[in-house]
Structure 1
């Protein structure tokens, strides 16, 4: 799908940059999604930054762990997209 998007935008992504972006995406997804109660990365980050209460919130239609997980992934996917396009050229 990413190849189709790059083609539609008229850019050529360098293979090494694409590989680095995929590696970054894999590593950050793996680290965040390995949830072990009390030992997970996102829970530690939330607790360290004073958001542990929000992380544990699960009422009134809000799930803090889900929200923080989504924000983590969106942030790192933005960084991965920037990495992927560092050596991009136009077609």
Structure 2
């Protein structure tokens, strides 16, 4: 299991459309992927779960991945959240 703190650099934060795009990115990986914000532990592959996160640009979120491609999964999520 790997985890990393990532600063959200999406201009609009994680509102509806960017959250839906993040679910698509996360769904490309075999690993279980969770976004952790305080006491919320949200499955990054769940659109309903992602809609409950209201993270703004500049906020940090912990991304946790567990599985065969966990390193690649975290890199992919980081790339999306940081627009790089």
TM norm structure 1: 0.29
Give 1 or 2: higher helix fraction: 1
Larger radius of gyration: 1
